[in-house]
Structure 1
Amino acid sequence: MEFSMLIAFFIGLVVLYAIGKVVSLPMRLLWKLITNSIIGGIMLWIINLFGVGLQINLINALIAGIFGIPGVIGLIIYKFI
């Protein structure tokens, strides 16, 4: 195998690795957003067991999932204002 062919092979591997990293970043962010939304929906459901009456929809689940407990407290305060 020629030396230039070997260099081209390793450059190709580096480029393929870089493309894989660039593509996987948005997928990780999307997966984190989905899991946080599910956790937020579960937190809202638990809060509703105590009779607060928050609506469980996509926006409230995203707020609760992204901001966590402060997000749920903010939603409760917003409900009673």
Structure 2
Amino acid sequence: MNISIEYNIIIAYLIGLFLLYFLGWLLVVPKKFLLKIIINGIIGGLILLIINLLGKSIGLYIAINPVTALVAGFLGIPGIILLIILQYIA
């Protein structure tokens, strides 16, 4: 019994599986990353709002925009300190 194996079909099948996996990965990972960015931005914005309310008496104000919210959300306390330092430098 001679079984003829066509390597082109096997290679095409493996490439198709790899592309299917890669496409699935592209559809799942960005959603998780985007959700993390949105949540961190919201948390950063809330922290900046609290700092602005508490810092009103000493003249501390940091503008709340998407960039500052994301910096505060991603970096946490060091990010807020960085924003305060940048405010006084610029």
Give the TM interval when normalised to the shorter protein: 0.7 to 0.9
Identity of aligned residues (%): 45
**Aligned AA for 1:30?**
L
Instruction: Give the number of the structure whose alpha-carbon radius of gyration is greater.
Output: 2
Question: What is the TM-score with the length of structure 1 in the denominator?
Answer: 0.72
Answer yes or no: is 1:57 the counterpart of 2:61.
no
Matches within 5 A, 1:35-54: 35-50=39-54, 51=56, 52-54=60-62
1:20 CA drift (Å): 3.0
- 2:84 alignment partner in structure 1: 76
1:21 CA drift (Å): 3.3
- The count of corresponding residues between Structure 1 and Structure 2 is 68
Deviations 1:17-57 (A, max 9, x none): 83433311011101100110000000100110122111111
Secondary structure at the aligned position of 1:65 is classed as helix
Question: What is the TM-score with the length of structure 2 in the denominator?
Answer: 0.66
CA distance in structure 1 between the aligned counterparts of 2:25 and 2:31, rounded to whole angstroms: 10
- 1:27 alignment partner in structure 2: 31
Q: Which runs of 5+ in 1 are unaligned?
A: 1-10
1:80 CA drift (Å): 1.8
Q: Which runs of 5+ in 2 are unaligned?
A: 1-12
